[in-house]
A and B are shown apart, each in its own frame.
Chain A
Amino acid sequence: MAFKGTTVRGTVVKGIAMKQIAIYGKGGIGKSTVASNISAALNERGVKVMQVGCDPKRDSTRILAGGHLIPAVLEIYRDKLRQGQDAHAISLDDIIFKTSSGIYCVEAGGPEPGIGCAGRGVLTALQILKDLKAFETYEIDVAIYDVLGDVVCGGFAMPIREGFASEIYLVCSGGFMSIYAANNIARAVQRLARRGDAGLAGIICNSNGDDALERAVVPAFAERLGTAFVEFVPHSSVIQACELEGRAVVEHAPQSEEATIFRELALKVMENDTKVIPTPVEELPELEELYRKNVP
């Protein structure tokens, strides 16, 4: 517990500094994999972690929950409404699931594909967590919000806008569209950072296998945004095997090189005290030029 209340900056809950981070990135880039492995690595160090999946697919915490999908906040809320009750009838035990290793997991949930408003759903779920004083009750040290795809509408900016998350990490690979999506998210962070405490804390590269390209392009992009290049997570069969097993790398392959990488990443995230208002690229041609210039 080297970090608690000492080196950690962030929201103060009951006198204890709580670090709240959000992970954003293009759909399918590996946000949930990165978030879950950070959670597991922090938990291994004795940090109390809560991972909040902000995606209607509710699969953010799957590899923390042994490959299972846990019930979602909005699902439980809906059940209560159908029983003639309201949000006050929900208890923390209904919506927060503690893994055998001690990680607290929450899934916001949301509507069926093609209907309803998932963004509003994220806000509703986070509000329920806030009303129930989830972080204070469990004395959480780090809350990690794993947010769906892109900041497609105001709802998905809620973790930033409503002050739930103050440090934003972007996950991207070396693919151009992944960089493009990350740049768009940085634009949202730039806009929202003016209103509150949130800022961009860095970029994590989740490799798709083209190491040389990614090690050149992603750090250059991070520099352009004015933020840190935090970690390079390699494309690895070990990570894929762990995912298939529904286990975090530090638990399923604790001696592997990948486990070491996630431990280092978790440490960097924990120790980070820098966040910036990013300076995203405004025009597409400029982004294309930046990309071309750094292709090895």
Chain B
Amino acid sequence: MRCALSGAAQTALGVSDSAVLAHAPQGCNYLVDGAFSWQDCDYAQTTTLCTKLCEDEIVHGGEELLARTILEAKELEISALFVLSACGPEIVGDDIVAVCEDMQPQVDFKIIPIECAGFRGSQYDGIDIALEAMLRTLAANECPKIPNSVCLVAPHANANPTWIADLAWVKEVLAKLGIKVVATLTHETLLSELTNISAAEGVLQLSHDAGYKAVSYLADNFGVEPLCADVPLPIGLTNTRRWLTSLAKRFNAERIAENLIEEGERMVTETCRRRWPIARFFYRTPAAIIADATIGIPLVRFATEEMELTPALVALRSVRPEARRLLDNELNNLGIAPHVLYGTDVYATRRSLAEVRPKVVFGSTIERHASEGLDVPYVFEVVRPVRQFRMLNREYFGYRGILNLLECIQNEWSDRWRSKERRYAARW
């Protein structure tokens, strides 16, 4: 998992008509480049800057250089400049907040400092830090509420690399339910949306890994109601049904939701009948789910009810208390007691896999390698599938999302039977 600077950059780059200035050595700026791709930014439209700190700025402080770089950004046609600090400048005590305040009168755009040094935590901590800085700096005092409206929080805190499709599905469903989206924190977000965010009646958090603090801030300061907080995200048939029902109930759109559910479930069932995937061959097979909470928690029910697997290990890379409670509730509700691991890393995962010995692993390319030699026949790379190139975004949320997951599973199954060596290994 990457550091806080990466998460803050992902968040800042989701705001349109703005630029990101990393107050960092040039190596750390690589994380900003990664975040650029994560938000699907366009090089023709979005600019990133870096102070490229060297030894002199570490010894004497880099505030002067930061001030000069902010002035250089005057040439850009932007509404906001997000100034992100990396570890080096924060360790030596650069006060980026003071520099931004000093420079504000000299520029036409809004400067938003975000103190997000890598040592402050994971990329999810960075997302929380950035969201908080944005809300504190940009959200105006209570705007008049817009009826039937929501804001969306942390869609990018999701291990699906094409999470933008998940967000698109959510927006599509909200439109069908007659719910207006006031702002998205963040993806192609206008500064005016951020300013008016308190006009939203409700807030939908699209991650179990980040965004909890932003949701609390919106609720406490602007009376924005948290929605669907106690149900997993809509991955899998049951979760999607629960999520849609919970949302529709709040906005008195139950009838529309019922139609959406009926139509969606019919589409999934008919597609499966025609294409005939082999999911039934996995009946009661011991499975491990190793993922971020956003995908991992909903996958537990998907694996148990829809795939009819038996989860033997659930290892989540993050460890938010709210996510922990949600997972506990899910496990109780499903009546299963797998081995659960929070804040896992490759070493802990490997050890747990060796202990539990599952036959199926939901994870990433990393888990494929971590499973080497452990007689794990099937590794479904549904989390950050780095071995696959995707030209188009593919959602995991909703009904098309279920088919996308089943497609991953079917391909892994077929791939295994195409290889003699792997076919023998799969004869468990």
Q: A117 contacts B56, CB within 8 Å?
A: no
With CB as the reference atom, state the residue of chain A lying closest to B91. Answer: A117
CB pair A81 B56 closer than 8 Å: yes
Q: CA of A226 to CA of B60 in the docked complex: distance in angstroms?
A: 39
> A231 → chain B, closest Cβ, in Å?
35
Is A115's CB under 8 angstroms from B63's CB?
yes
- CB pair A116–B55 under 8 Å, yes or no, is no
| Interface residue? A286 (CB, 8 A) | no
A112: which of B55, B60, B91, B94 is its contact (CB, 8 Å)?
Answer: B60
Name the interface residues of B56-109: CB closer than 8 Å to any CB of A: 56, 58-61, 63, 91-94
Size of A's binding interface in residues, CB under 8 A: 15
Closest chain A CB from B67 CB (angstroms): 13
A10 at the interface (CB under 8 A from B): no
Within 8 Å CB of B60, what residues of A? 74, 78, 110-112, 115-116, 121
Chain B residues lying within 8 Å of A74, measured Cβ to Cβ, are 59-60
Complex Cα gap A120–B91 (Å): 11
Q: Does A37 contact B (CB under 8 A)?
A: no
Inter-chain contacts of B59 with A (CB < 8 A): 74, 110-111, 116-118, 120-121, 124
Would you give the shortest CB distance from A120 to chain B, in whole angstroms?
5
A229 sits at the interface (CB 8 A): no
Q: What residue of chain B has the Cβ atom nearest to residue A125's Cβ?
A: B59
Residue of A nearest to B59 (CB): A121
Asked if A115 and B56 make an inter-chain contact with CB atoms under 8 angstroms apart, the answer reads: no
Residue of A nearest to B95 (CB): A115
Q: How far is the CA of A115 from the CA of B58 in the complex (A)?
A: 9
Whether A78 lies near B91 (C-beta < 8 A) is: no
Contact call A120/B56, Cβ cutoff below 8 A? no
A164 within 8 A of B: no
- CB of A77 closer than 8 Å to a CB of B: yes
Tell me whether A296 is interfacial, beta carbon within 8 Å: no
B58: A residues at CB distance < 8 A: 116-117, 120
Least CB distance from A115 to B in Å reads: 4
Q: A74-B60, A116-B61, A118-B59 are in contact. List 12 more A-B contacts (CB 8 A).
A: A77-B56, A78-B60, A81-B56, A111-B59, A112-B60, A116-B93, A117-B58, A117-B59, A117-B91, A117-B92, A120-B59, A121-B60
Closest 4 A/B residue pairs (Cβ): A115-B61, A116-B61, A121-B59, A117-B92
Binding site for A on B (CB under 8 A): 55-56, 58-61, 63, 91-94
